[in-house]
Amino acid sequence: MYQSSSTASRPGGGTAPWLLKPQVPVSPQALTLVCVPHAGAGPGVYRAFARQLAPHVSLRLVHLPGRESRVGEPALDSLPRVVRAALPALVPELRGRFALWGHSMGGFVAFELARVLQARFGLRAEALVVSGCQAPRSPERAALPQRRLMEDDELWLSAADLNGIPAEITGNGALRELLLPTLRADFAVFETYEYRAGPPLSCPLHVFAGRDDPEASAGDMEAWKLETRSDFTLTELAGGHFFHLEDPVGFSDRLTSVLWPRHATR
């Protein structure tokens, strides 16, 4: 279960829940962790982590349009639009200690949110965690598939090959037609992202790579160290592109070890 943490105005009026807070008991001193999902995913993908990270970490799940309860809204197709739209709901939630975590597409979104929060609002994260996402200055980015330009069948199969589509809906034609526009828009967010030079982050930056990930190897992620003037760690874990979902308990322990090391179990 979730409660709407913050809302933002819809273009046509009304409000939409941009941030969801899992209803899990946490400590009053808990660190707020803003989570940005991968392409095509909604906040539900982080459900497994809410209880694993409690009580020391309290999640705020970025709820992008075009998925789950916002499936009737058009998805945003550029990273600057995503950042601009999310900020009004996000800023009021970050008056205490906070960190950000993004996976794959969400890695670039979380990174740019951290930059804007630091530069424009004076809100400095305690850490940025990036998983399964090539560094923005990695030359290997140019070799990644341009999925936003693929035909529908090819795009769907390509996402399925990464295990980015749950097996129970891979063959569901109605759901495919519903989700394809969002998936294509999300890949556009990721693939058209243009890195612009700016001051490095002042917070530690922790990156995680899957050993068998064809999209973002540890070598592809090494250049993330250029984006911070603080501590940098790079950890390679067993698994593919969605290694964090293959072992949510183990990855939760890894997150705790970098976000709240006093309470880490390993």
pTM of the model: 0.91
User: What pLDDT score was predicted for residue 213?
Assistant: 94
In order, the DSSP letters of 230-243 are S-EEEEEESSSTTH
Write the pLDDT tens digit of every residue in 173-192. Answer: 888 898 899 999 999 999 99
Domains parsed from the chain with CATH numbers: 2-258 (3.40.50.1820)
Indicate the pLDDT class of residue 16, thresholds 50, 70 and 90.
low
User: What pLDDT score was predicted for residue 260?
Assistant: 83
User: What pLDDT score was predicted for residue 10?
Assistant: 44
Residues 155 and 184: beta-carbon distance below 8 Å: yes
Q: Which residues of 110-148 are buried (b: 16+ CB within 10 A; e: fewer)?
A: bbbbbbbbbeeeebebbbbbbbbbbbbebeebeebeebb
- What is the average pLDDT score of the chain? 90
Res 8 pLDDT > 50: no
Write the pLDDT tens digit of every residue in 45-74. Answer: 998 899 999 999 999 999 999 999 999 999
> Which position among 104, 131, 138, 252 bears the catalytic label?
104
* Closest among 76, 52, 46 to 64, alpha carbons compared: 76
User: What pLDDT score was predicted for residue 142?
Assistant: 83
User: What pLDDT score was predicted for residue 194?
Assistant: 95
User: What pLDDT score was predicted for residue 103?
Assistant: 98
Residues 62 and 92: beta-carbon distance below 8 Å: no
104 flagged as catalytic: yes
